[in-house]
Structure 1
Amino acid sequence: MTDTSSGVLLDIHTSALAGMGSMPRHFERWAALAADESHPDADLGEELFRSLLIGGDDALAALWGRHLTAWDFAENPQWGAGSPARTDERRAVVYERLRFGSELCKLLDEAVPVAKVPGATVITREFTPWYTPERAAARSFYWTAYERKLRDKGWSEAAIASLDQASLAVVERLADPEQPAARQAKGLVVGYVQSGKTANFTGVAAKAIDAGYRLVIVLGGTLNLLRAQTQRRLDMELIGQENILRGADVTDVDSLVGVDYVGDDEDWSEFVRHGGRPSTLGAFDIERLTTRDNDYKSLAQGIRALEFEKRVPTRPLHDSANLHHTAARILVVKKNKAVLTKLVKDLKQIHGILGELPTLIIDDESDQASVNTSNPKKWEEGRIERTAINGLISKLLGLLPRAQYVGYTATPFANVFIDPGDEENIFPQDFLISLPRPSGYMGVQDFHDLDGVDDGETEGGAEKKHVRGIYDSAGDRLQEALDAFVLTGALKLYRADHGTPDGPFRHHTMLVHESVRMAEHTALALRINTMWHNASYTGSQGHARLASLFEKDFRTHAASSLPTPTTYADLKPYVFEARRLINKGGTPVIVVNGASERDYSQPDLDFDRTPNVWKILVGGTKLSRGFTVEGLTITYYRRTTQQADTLMQMGRWFGFRPGYRDLVRLYIGREETLGRGRNARTVDLYEAFEAICRDEELFRTELARYAPMVNGRPQVTPAQIPPLVAQHLPWVKPSARNKMFNAQLVEVRSPGVWEEPTAYPEDPHALRHNTECWEPVFEALSDTSVSLGVDGGPQYEARVGTMSHQDLLTVLCDLRWSVPGQFSPHLEFLLDAGREDGTIDDWVVIAPTQTSARRNEARILGHGPFSLARRKRRRGPLFGAIRDPKHVAAVTRLAGASHLAGNAAVEELVRPRRGALVLYPVVESEPRILSDGSVDPRDLVMAFAFVAPPSTARGDRALVRFRAIDSTRAEAAIIDRDDTSA
């Protein structure tokens, strides 16, 4: 066998892998077929393959990276032998089908590690599959171009594969664009704040257009600036140069009249290129009915712009003979009453074709303006405008019987729970998809220690690194925040100069958000300008402040993997340049507010077209939704709100911070007294934000638990989501008094899962009643403590005991709750386990004891002493997380739900059908102590958590069980109260 060059082998491997299609096959046979004609003597042995990988053949490694990752991510493929996606088991199946030897497998694993990342969570109704891998592969012109663009941008193969799967999950649940009968599907995609939702809906649009959707309407924000950003993104990454030019010659100035981007966008060369007009390459063109600078006004070419030429006039447009030979149209429109009214009016003038036109409506920030709510407090922009937008979206859906609606949001509660009217128009009745947290994303876990507990023994890591209060002993810290902005700008310049892969840093910004009042923004901007010019950043006083802040904060928390100077003296030369960039134009501050569009047309707000934005942005509502502040490093945040979704959208500090995430600082209000006299109240904005973040994370966790199919059927449908989440968000309810949720949660089965009720009563008499209920458990506990823990985990002291399942049920059935519906589905599960033979025999009960000097102890009903935990109610009657994270591993092992080995005390207590329950006596303030040393039971919340043993699992039953109040409308999310006797 002759030697084979790297290029020849790459060609053979490329052909062989392409020939395999969507599944791995016997590679040597396919490679031999690929080499047979052009290179019959090529060396196809594994030894050469291995040597090229060892030698660092990047092209060969990239080729295999694409295919191995695609196979890793494939969901439930027929060839997968039941192996889960993104696991070593799946990779082993792939290698077995390829017939590779162990040495080659080892090298490929090193070159292309398995990306063990979570996939999208899908809650869905049953649907008829149509978007098969074969159909997707047969028509993939725009998706392939988009994939190529993402690789050029530096996306990893795992990130692209993740996007591929998430967008596939959306497209396959839309109606088949070629099917004879018209059908509308409606769904919701839930991402994270500033986490790349646009990338997902761009991928969805690419696949949908390839599949046959010929009209795409993107509702892109409520401002021209936001609409233009979305238009530019789609133009750059999906539509491409040739479709934008429409035959114009870039060297002929006259032919470019009316063509955007060419000549005034420095990134024009980065726009997707297809290698020619797609219609000349065997594909089809995309015609834009809106441009970067022009929203939809009226059809520029008249109604003819939406006239689709049919190759076979006697057949409908959606027939495959016509559909794949006509151009697609895209509109990116502002969510504005006047704009949408014009679009609806123009569509009404088109007769006949609308009923044949497969249409995709993508609603970005779908909980803003789109939702039809009659609660004016919910929406800061006013009820009338939002109801009008909702009505116009409904008209679009009515005019386009083949239209599919997909909403995108990071705050799903408004869409899923609040509005009963949306069931008939944009309620996500067909699917709800929760996107995974992307790699490199800086989110809630980076600013909040969600599992942290103030027990006197631990100190939060995330908060310590990134979060600062608004005040310190010297007063307001706004000057410190300004200093931090200058300092981090200098650090970015230093890193760019010392080879940081993510540098240079194009934008560097600071956000100051204190109020929604425009007059206060002007005053605040003046104050910041004054502070800036008095800061002495070129003098000794200013450098002394910066040096002190660098030493006590930024040098301490700098990432070891990124270049950071060891002394301020090394950084000082970069401070001058940072100050110059920030002060460019004579002021470091720009104000972002106002009701008119011209308030947002400032060059320093256009991060796409302005080369370097180094500014301090002062604003209110318009900075808290949809608007991405690029390069955001320092945030000074004081604004309060009572609305959960509004609060969540304010998290502009979330996002991707490559090369400088360790420099990000959030100055946020902690305990502040607002108002005076009887109207005074104490607000901790940081804790309020953490509370809604917990709600969001718990929502995603719940979706993930109930997403897997059971016996081929969904456990939960979108219509059943509201009561599922309402068990920990009691304020979630339809806004109209005459409406109610149709589905009621009856049972939640949780074998092997930590469950933690939080809806404990506030009434002193109910608290005393609950404490007295637990007396049999107190009596079952040992007098002395034992040490509990698992291998490699923390050890802790606890008193333990055992009691029968029936005795524990007697306690649990007698407890009182502030929201009874929160615990009753779990109690139903435990009662059911008692009725089923052999699922639970007994329980081990654990009462952890604190050992720190700050511990708080007291007797309870004469028993003990017990360690008392201090916790706060999060909102209304609900607590936040009550558990101490270090208790979880041992308790889970005691219930037999973990394979981690426990210490001797733990293993001695493990039984096959034994559950575990941990007690958390909680006090919310300083409790009263009775004469015998017992805590007054009226001041005590007897909280607990439990883990049911795996023996309670029933593979043939869903984890949740519902009943429909109106069984004749089982899929209806919301029904009229008058229609039922409930």
Structure 2
Amino acid sequence: MTDQLLNLHVDVLAAMQRGGPRHFAKLAFALSDEQDPSDLALERFHDRLLEASPGDELLALWNRTLTAWDLDERATWSSSPARTDERRADAYTRLGFGAELGKAIDSLIPVFKEPGTVVISKDFDPWYTRESAAARSFYWRAYERLLHAKGWPDSAVSSLDEAAHSVVERLSDPARDDAFGARGLVVGYVQSGKTANFTGVAAKAIDAGYRLVIVLGGTLNLLRSQTQRRIDMELIGQENILRGADPNDPSALVGLDYQDDEDWPQKFVSHGGRPSVLGSFDIERLTTRTDDYRRLLNGIRALEFEKHDRSRPLYDPANLHRAAARIMVVKKNKTVLSNLVDDLRKIGPLLSEIPALIIDDESDQASVNTTNPRKWEAGKVTRTAINGLITDLLRLLPRAQYVGYTATPFANVFVDPGDGDDIFPRDFLISLPRPSEYMGVQDFHDLDSPIPRNERTVANSQEKAHVRGIEKATGDRLQEAMDAFVLSGALKAYRVAKGLSQDPYRHHTMLVHESVKMDDHNALANRLTAMWNNAGYTGPEGHARLAKLFASDFAPVSAAHAADLPTPTTYDELRPYVSRARQLINSGGGPVIVVNGDTDRYFAQLDLDFDRTPNVWKILVGGTKLSRGFTVEGLTVTYYRRTTQQADTLMQMGRWFGFRRGYRDLVRLYIGREELIGKIKTVDLYEAFEAICQDEELFRAELARYAPLVDGRPQVTPAQIPPLVAQHLPWVKPSARNKMFNAELVEVRSPGQPIEPAAYPVDTEATARNTQRWQPVLAQLSGSSTTCRLQADSTTPLSRSFQAATSVVSHADLLGILSSLEWEDENVLKPHLTYLSQLDGRLALVDDWLVLAPHRTERRRIEAMLLGHGPFSLFRRSRQAGKVSFGRISGLEHRTYAQQLIDTAQAEAAAGVTTGMGTHRGVVLLYPVVEATTDAEIEAVAAKGTASASEITLAFTVIPPRSAIDSKRQLVRFRAKDSSQPDAPIVNAPQD
């Protein structure tokens, strides 16, 4: 039966595709054959919504449409911000929908309010508008349909649309007369769908007119082949792969690189016919899944673009939109790229006419120039092989745009911005949002959890639910990890038997990573095989172990986190599926596959193909091949003990990050809690990952903070990003530190944000002088005690309180103290002092400061007099190994309370009331710190009841009021190293 209502809505919404929402009833009247369609268009629509089921196509149509309007960052039809109720209300007004209909829609399709893409960008020519994108969208629409068919939520598709649009609009107009090549960087999360994003970018760019796309697909065949398949499947499609041949003709499939692929052709996008016959243009592949670039497959003619009008250049619209596009996915290998560069040189003048796009996957690997500038001769840049070949490509193709993709961006942002031939993202840097349903670092760590450690359970702690530490007390736990792999496989088989789709459970893998040495991998594989053979999974001993692990681990975790997924209540109910899991894991030559080598010498031993193999249920022992870019499908149990001293390398080892639909509750990470670095220092790999997470989240937060335009201009450009990179652990470097010093950070404005310097003097005399400078404040605090009670909210669910000595200090007095303090190495507070010093006088944004000196709990309190004042609670803090900075200063409860004071004052001011401290008062947390590792050391300092000034570091956290910012809202200010070069990439920010 024809769904007339759906067909009408399809037609009406199609008419709104370019300009956004318009009056629905008027358009319906114009497009409908009904004499009076308003009732059909609105009243019946409202009735349909009230009884709509989740699979209703009309509801799905409106879900896609409204979500796209909600997320559109460039909407010209609304002045309201994206992702807000106000934007949705604007849409309803333009549609002519009443309040009742809007309320019904909102109940079924709520506004998507998750954070969006963050963009740091130079000014650009707005050539790629929503209207122009809609006018040419053949390949994007096909890709969009595929994503919906794969089950992507409408919000995820719309978010990808927005992110891809943000990239393409910052590239050069492919029809532009003068050649210009943009350079950009897109930052995602490890295993978070970056390939999906750059496939969307390629689709939109090809639609817009880019005719040569070169994808640099990692350094290994494994990753290049996986990337080629994704692009063939989701962008190029069946008809372009077959080059017009009949898919039903058996002879056309001979030699096809996907003839033995389980997903061919059902899951490969179909355009409904040869694109060139349908009024669009074809895409020609210059590489295949099995063949990397060697030489142009059909000789130089493969890049001879046909021109409709030979008197005009290729980039002229008369030629551009009729020409076929070319795509190649190549490995970052010297021989491969040298062949490509040599072939391109033979093309001649046509190269200057080709709008090209170079997408560099894992762009911080191999692409960055790592030669030592001190060894360059006569000022000439010396480049590494891959970096040199990429710059050759960019020079040969003057209309080429370069977009790097990575989850670990530090190496890229540290590239010298002054090197005009290099890949520094001079034009834009885009941070992708954390996708929904993604398991990342935050899902394995309790970052800033308000719940005390001894009160954490598998229900309220990510660590308790998913992480199993490997330390001396526990032994190596390798057998337990293998048991967890078998048990989780049985649970997957159980869920399939209970009616769940097999797709999420097609592959089931365990990754064991202890070393980069290939000999170690072979020895470990032999040990795992022997352990498997002796595990007794079919006998009483094996079942007893599994039953115990199920009862103590999997059952309680799944009860808390499995939601509606079927889970057995007893091991006896699960036991029949253990045999099935064991069979799948042991099939095809045993349970273990070794995947190693930083070259392809060992490819022959790799029996691993997630695409061609129906079920990969294996234990993978690996190193480099599985630590960068390559997606380990079905990864459920990870056993990780490898150490490294590079943050980006360590984070890329986190293969346990990714999408785990249908088995999030089964994911387990066995990770080293005590490892040796250089046989000297004991480190905690789990804490190292947490520190790196803090580094990366701070970087992303800083990008988000500086992304809003001020007076229509960017606050910062990509060239001013390097000083925003933090480092929390001394032995884990972000990347090439020597590239951080192209700019000097002279001011950081932090309204409502904690300022917490940590590089206090090591010298006892300097420490004593600093303590003496706080004497007036100590005198005011002496003897006072106030109860500080935290407000319960979403981040602090439990109401808590602590005692603190309190006082109010004038802004001038506090600034005088802070300005006089001494620091180790250099004045780490200086950029903040530049800001704080402006808050008095002309701006008069801060009158005074509430100083809190927290007391420790009665049970743990150790007190002492200081400079004749007090007594004060003494706090234990330690410096980071090999570094002068303390690891932390303020306690979480204290900082949360201080932040609540600041936030409440701002909220009350916005509401026109003042019951608290007002918007002109900041908060200072002051801690008498003893540098120690145990409380016994603190007790020794306080033994006589009085602590010496040289033994106490008065450490602090300062939180200015949220209103402590001038109208320009500039948050950072940089100074160029050489101000005599006004065209240098780093320039002075505007002055007040």
TM range (shorter): over 0.9
- Give the stretch that moved more between structures: 67-76 or 188-197: 67-76
TM superposition score normalised by structure 1? 0.92
Partner of 1:381: none
Partner of 2:790: 789
Partner of 2:872: 865
- Give the stretch that moved more between structures: 157-166 or 811-820: 811-820
Partner of 1:630: 633
- Residues 821, 92 of structure 1: alpha-carbon distance in 2 compared, 3 angstrom cutoff: farther
- Residues 512, 144 of structure 1: alpha-carbon distance in 2 compared, 3 angstrom cutoff: same
Tell me the SS of whatever aligns to 1:522. helix
* C-alpha contact 1:217 1:361 (8 A) present in aligned 2: yes
1:99 aligns with 2:96: yes
| Distance across 2 between alignment mates of 1:30 and 1:230 | 43
| Distance across 2 between alignment mates of 1:52 and 1:433 | 41
417, 421, 434: which one pairs with 2:431? 434
Partner of 1:513: 513
Shift of residue 49, structure 1, vs aligned partner? 1.0
1:806 aligns with 2:806: no
Partner of 2:933: 925
Moved over 6 A (4+): 453-457, 727-734
Partner of 2:186: 189
- Identical pairs, percent: 60
- Residues 556, 79 of structure 1: alpha-carbon distance in 2 compared, 3 angstrom cutoff: same
| Distance across 2 between alignment mates of 1:871 and 1:267 | 59
1:475 aligns with 2:480: no
1:138 aligns with 2:140: no
- Residues 602, 867 of structure 1: alpha-carbon distance in 2 compared, 3 angstrom cutoff: same
- Give the stretch that moved more between structures: 327-336 or 959-968: 959-968
Aligned pairs (5 A) from 1:255-334: 255-334=252-331
1:557 aligns with 2:562: no
| Distance across 2 between alignment mates of 1:479 and 1:736 | 40
String of CA shifts for 1:871-910, please: whole Å, max 9, x gaps.
66377334455444434443234235666689xxx98641
11, 17, 23: which one pairs with 1:15? 11
- Residues 280, 565 of structure 1: alpha-carbon distance in 2 compared, 3 angstrom cutoff: same
* C-alpha contact 1:373 1:418 (8 A) present in aligned 2: no
* C-alpha contact 1:893 1:899 (8 A) present in aligned 2: no
Shift of residue 124, structure 1, vs aligned partner? 0.7
1:402 aligns with 2:402: no
Aligned pairs (5 A) from 1:517-556: 517-556=517-556
| Distance across 2 between alignment mates of 1:121 and 1:503 | 33
Q: Which runs of 5+ in 2 are unaligned?
A: 374-380, 988-992
Tell me the SS of whatever aligns to 2:8. helix
String of CA shifts for 1:99-156, please: whole Å, max 9, x gaps.
2122211111121111111111111111111101111111000011110010001011
Partner of 2:411: 414
| Distance across 1 between alignment mates of 2:827 and 2:280 | 55
| Distance across 2 between alignment mates of 1:762 and 1:229 | 52
Let me know the Cα RMSD of the aligned residues.
2.8
| Distance across 1 between alignment mates of 2:223 and 2:12 | 45
68, 71, 87: which one pairs with 1:73? 71
657, 663, 666: which one pairs with 1:663? 666
* C-alpha contact 2:593 2:619 (8 A) present in aligned 1: yes
- Give the stretch that moved more between structures: 191-200 or 449-458: 449-458
569, 591, 601: which one pairs with 1:588? 591
* C-alpha contact 1:195 1:656 (8 A) present in aligned 2: yes
Aligned pairs (5 A) from 1:340-379: 340-374=337-371
The residue identity in structure 2 corresponding to 1:771 is T
790, 800, 815: which one pairs with 2:821? 815
Partner of 1:978: none
- Residues 907, 659 of structure 1: alpha-carbon distance in 2 compared, 3 angstrom cutoff: farther
| Distance across 2 between alignment mates of 1:728 and 1:513 | 24
The residue identity in structure 2 corresponding to 1:508 is H
Q: Which runs of 5+ in 1 are unaligned?
A: 377-383, 976-982
1:62 aligns with 2:65: no
- Give the stretch that moved more between structures: 88-97 or 193-202: 88-97
Shift of residue 548, structure 1, vs aligned partner? 1.0
* C-alpha contact 2:411 2:735 (8 A) present in aligned 1: no
| Distance across 1 between alignment mates of 2:706 and 2:808 | 31
String of CA shifts for 1:785-810, please: whole Å, max 9, x gaps.
21322254433223222110011112
Shift of residue 746, structure 1, vs aligned partner? 1.4
Tell me the SS of whatever aligns to 2:359. strand
1:895 aligns with 2:902: yes
Partner of 2:955: 943
Shift of residue 45, structure 1, vs aligned partner? 5.3
- Give the stretch that moved more between structures: 703-712 or 683-692: 683-692
| Distance across 2 between alignment mates of 1:930 and 1:890 | 27
- Residues 247, 492 of structure 1: alpha-carbon distance in 2 compared, 3 angstrom cutoff: same
Shift of residue 85, structure 1, vs aligned partner? 0.9
- Residues 148, 892 of structure 1: alpha-carbon distance in 2 compared, 3 angstrom cutoff: same
* C-alpha contact 2:751 2:965 (8 A) present in aligned 1: yes
TM superposition score normalised by structure 2? 0.91
| Distance across 2 between alignment mates of 1:474 and 1:639 | 18
* C-alpha contact 1:371 1:422 (8 A) present in aligned 2: no
String of CA shifts for 1:433-489, please: whole Å, max 9, x gaps.
111110011111111122148977654812111111113645221111111111111
Shift of residue 247, structure 1, vs aligned partner? 1.4
String of CA shifts for 1:902-931, please: whole Å, max 9, x gaps.
9xxx98641231111223444441334144
Shift of residue 331, structure 1, vs aligned partner? 0.4
Partner of 2:684: 684
* C-alpha contact 2:848 2:920 (8 A) present in aligned 1: yes
Partner of 1:379: none
- Residues 475, 88 of structure 1: alpha-carbon distance in 2 compared, 3 angstrom cutoff: same
* C-alpha contact 2:647 2:733 (8 A) present in aligned 1: no
| Distance across 2 between alignment mates of 1:938 and 1:44 | 83
Shift of residue 686, structure 1, vs aligned partner? 1.3
| Distance across 2 between alignment mates of 1:54 and 1:736 | 59
Shift of residue 867, structure 1, vs aligned partner? 5.4
String of CA shifts for 1:694-734, please: whole Å, max 9, x gaps.
10111001110001000011001011111233697999899
Shift of residue 422, structure 1, vs aligned partner? 5.5
String of CA shifts for 1:412-438, please: whole Å, max 9, x gaps.
111111557865320111111111110
Tell me the SS of whatever aligns to 1:682. strand
| Distance across 2 between alignment mates of 1:666 and 1:856 | 38
Tell me the SS of whatever aligns to 1:349. helix
* C-alpha contact 2:723 2:740 (8 A) present in aligned 1: no
Shift of residue 39, structure 1, vs aligned partner? 6.2
- Residues 939, 528 of structure 1: alpha-carbon distance in 2 compared, 3 angstrom cutoff: farther
| Distance across 2 between alignment mates of 1:200 and 1:305 | 27
Shift of residue 346, structure 1, vs aligned partner? 0.4
* C-alpha contact 1:727 1:822 (8 A) present in aligned 2: no
The residue identity in structure 1 corresponding to 2:546 is L
Tell me the SS of whatever aligns to 1:352. helix
| Distance across 1 between alignment mates of 2:364 and 2:231 | 21
Partner of 1:654: 657
String of CA shifts for 1:25-81, please: whole Å, max 9, x gaps.
22221221121x466557335331111112216111111111111110011423222
| Distance across 2 between alignment mates of 1:974 and 1:884 | 37
Tell me the SS of whatever aligns to 2:222. helix
Aligned pairs (5 A) from 1:198-237: 198-237=195-234
Partner of 1:844: 850
| Distance across 1 between alignment mates of 2:673 and 2:494 | 33
The residue identity in structure 1 corresponding to 2:183 is K
